[in-house]
Amino acid sequence: MNNNQPDRHELFLIPEGMSKVSMTKDSKIPNAATFTILKEDHTLANLLRAQLLKNPKVLFAGYKIPHPLEHTFVLKIQTTFETNPLEVLLIEMQTIIRDIMDLNKKFQNQLTLHGLEGGEFGGSRMDF
């Protein structure tokens, strides 16, 4: 194909030798860092940003997608001196994991309550 259409793999595949997440400490602002996360979009970026902002130790959290054709976002975090951006990001991501697991359990309970259980994780759901 001789056009400038981006390759299909560019949406998903992390290039050889690169890691999903990288961190650059800010050289001027104390307790601040920029995280670059590859092959993710607003779905994850906004989720992390919103969760971080709930933490009182977080002074700043914001994200941007530097280029619309590159599936990457950068997340900037500044915290108080009690902690650091990496630690706080890990803690808040664990919170998200817990919340989502919890939500899934509640969803399953609701299905049972409505007599709608027996899905993919329970049996075959081929009823339509």
Chain residues that interact with another protein, rule: CB under 8 A? 8-9, 11-13, 19-21, 23, 37, 40-44, 46-47, 49-51, 84-87, 89-90, 93-94, 96-104, 106-108, 110-111, 113-114, 116, 119-121, 124-128
**Least distance in angstroms from the C-beta of 97 to another protein:** 5
Q: Which residue has 């409505």 as its token pair?
A: 114
Distance from C-alpha of 19 to C-alpha of 72, rounded to nearest angstrom: 12
**Least distance in angstroms from the C-beta of 66 to another protein:** 18
With respect to another protein, which residue has the nearer C-beta, 59 or 93?
Answer: 93
Paired tokens of 65:
């997608």
With respect to another protein, which residue has the nearer C-beta, 14 or 28?
Answer: 14
Sign of the torsion angle spanned by Cα atoms 82, 84, 85, 88: negative
42-53 helix and 85-113 helix, angle to the nearest 10 degrees? 110
Paired tokens of 35:
């995280």
With respect to another protein, which residue has the nearer C-beta, 69 or 113?
Answer: 113
